[in-house]
Amino acid sequence: MWSNQGQDRRRGALRGRPAGLTLVELLVVIAIVAILIGLLLPAVQMAREAMRSAACSNNLRQIGLAFQAHNEAVRMYPTGGNEWWTPPNFVSGKPATGLLQDAGWAYQILPYLEENSAWSPSGVDDRARQTAAIAALIRGYFCPTRREPQAVTYTDIDYMGGVELTHGLIDYAASNFGGDGLMVQTGSDRKGAPRRPAEITDGLSKTLAVGEKRLNLVELGKWQPDDNEGYSAGWDEDTLRRTDLAPDRDYRGDSTGEERFGSSHSQTFNAVFVDGSVRNLAYTIDPTVFMNLGNIRDGRTVTDF
C-alpha cells in the first residue's frame, strides 16, 4: 500500500512538471550552438577560400599551357601588344597573329583556351569583330576570390574614335611593364624582337610569365586606369605589371594598383612561370628576388622564392 502511494505521488510530481526546456536550459543550448558556429564558420571560410584559390591557380595553369601552345603554333610567345589604344586587328577577316597583332597577350592566346568565339567573332566587318572581341567576358581571366566576370562600358576619344564600348576585364597581368621580361611591345618601330625559349637564358622555371594583379576594390566595375581597357589591351597596365615593384594585397582607397602584382588572397598571390608551373608567391618575397624573377636574362641565380 505504501509503495503504491509513493509511486502515485512520484507520478503526480512528474505530471505536474511543465513540458519543454526551462529558460536556463534554453540559454545554455543557445550558447553551445553559438560557440559551435563560431568554431565552424572560420573553418568553412578557410575551406571556401582554399577552393577559390585553387580555381585561381587553375586559371593560371591554363594560361601557362596556352603560352606554350602559342609558342609551338606561332614560333614565339605572345607579345604585350602595341599600345593601349590599339584594339584587336584583323587581316582579311581573320585575327592577325604574332608581331602583327596589336592587341595584347590575353587576346592572342584565346584560341589555345578554347575561346575561339571571342578571338574570331562573327561580324559584318572588322569594326563589328573588334567590338565583339573587346566586350568578351572570359571566365578564366577572373579570380573567384575577387569577383565574378566583369566589364566596364565607357567612351574614350583616343580609342576607336570615341564610340561607346564595353570592355571585358581581367584579373591577371604579364611580366613585365619594365620591358626586360617575357613581354615585348610590338608596333611598326618595335618589331623584330619576339621572345622564344632560347631568349630566356635565366631558365623557364625561374622566369615569371603571368600573375595576379593588384587592384583597388572600391573601383571594381568602374572605370579606373588599370582596369578599363580590359583583357584585349595592348601595352598597358591592364594586362602588364612590374616586378621591380613589390607585390601587395588589393586595397580600398583613392589610388590605383600602382602597376604592382597582387591579389585579394590574404598572404600570397598566384603566378605561372614560363615552364607552366604555378606557384604561390608571398607578398613578403625579397624585392631583389622578385625583380630577378621578372627579368628573362639578368644572369642571377634564384634558388628560393
Give the pLDDT confidence of 196-223 residue by residue, as tens digits. Answer: 999 999 999 999 999 999 999 999 999 9
Who's near 130: CB < 8 A, 6+ residues apart?
A: 87, 88, 89, 90, 160
CA gap 36, 34 in Å, rounded: 5
Q: What is the pTM of this model?
A: 0.85
Who's near 194: CB < 8 A, 6+ residues apart?
A: 76, 77, 79, 98, 99, 184
Residue 304 lies inside a defined structural domain of this protein: no
CA gap 292, 186 in Å, rounded: 23
The rounded mean pLDDT for the chain is 90
Residue 193 lies inside a defined structural domain of this protein: yes
Residue 65: which domain range? 39-294
166 within 8 A of 153, measured Cβ to Cβ:
yes
Residue 16 lies inside a defined structural domain of this protein: no
Residue 303 lies inside a defined structural domain of this protein: no
CA nearest neighbour of 151 among 88, 231, 258: 231
Residue 249 lies inside a defined structural domain of this protein: yes
Structure confidence by residue, pLDDT tens digits, 109-155: 999 999 999 999 988 899 999 999 999 999 999 999 999 999 999 99
CA gap 286, 303 in Å, rounded: 12
Residue 299 lies inside a defined structural domain of this protein: no
Pairing outcome for strands 240-241 and 208-212 = unpaired
Structure confidence by residue, pLDDT tens digits, 144-173: 999 999 999 999 999 999 999 999 999 999
CA gap 115, 88 in Å, rounded: 15
Number of domains in the chain: 1
231 within 8 A of 138, measured Cβ to Cβ:
yes
Residue 105 lies inside a defined structural domain of this protein: yes
247 within 8 A of 214, measured Cβ to Cβ:
yes
Residue 5 lies inside a defined structural domain of this protein: no
Strand partners, 281: 269
CA distances from 21 to 11, 17, 33, 181, 297 (A): 19, 11, 15, 69, 74
